[in-house]
Amino acid sequence: DADVTQTPRNRITKTGKRIMLECSQTKGHDRMYWYRQDPGLGLRLIYYSFDVKDINKGEISDGYSVSRQAQAKFSLSLESAIPNQTALYFCATSDATGSGTDTQYFGPGTRLTVL
């Protein structure tokens, strides 16, 4: 079984709808991240969480919110989806080494299309 799973894998929705993307991990890591990938822009950080009670905004948090329900679960919500949120979304996890040398492990991604 995959260590980092994301649901759904694909989603098509309409402008104005509320959408939740879910991420679960079995790696036992404390740190979790949400990124979006757009062609030519690489991955950009939306939100990150260093533990259940610690949630922080990333580079592009406007229009998004998150919830860390447990160490293993980190959800991303779009309260009112808009077309420019169409992208590939990745969840990632890492160990809490604090040294900056740790590796991030990525889920398979969720392809979201907002019409």
Partner 1 sequence: AQSVTQLDSQVPVFEEAPVELRCNYSSSVSVYLFWYVQYPNQGLQLLLKYLSGSTLVKGINGFEAEFNKSQTSFHLRKPSVHISDTAEYFCAVRNHNAGNMLTFGGGTRLMVKP
Chain contacts with partner 1 (rule: CB under 8 A): 4, 31, 40-45, 48, 50, 58, 90, 92, 94, 100-109
Give the nearest distance from C-beta 16 to partner 1 in angstroms.
29
- Where does residue 61 rank: exposed (0-12), middle (13-18), buried (19+ CB within 10 A)? middle
Cis link prior to 8 (omega < 30° from 0)? Answer: yes
Residue number with CB closer to partner 1 (41 or 79): 41
Sign (positive or negative) of CA dihedral 48, 25, 93, 42? negative
Give the nearest distance from C-beta 81 to partner 1 in angstroms.
22
Give the nearest distance from C-beta 28 to partner 1 in angstroms.
17
Residue number with CB closer to partner 1 (43 or 114): 43
Alpha-carbon distance 43 to 36, whole Å? 6
Amino acid 5 reads T
Give the nearest distance from C-beta 93 to partner 1 in angstroms.
11
Residue number with CB closer to partner 1 (11 or 105): 105
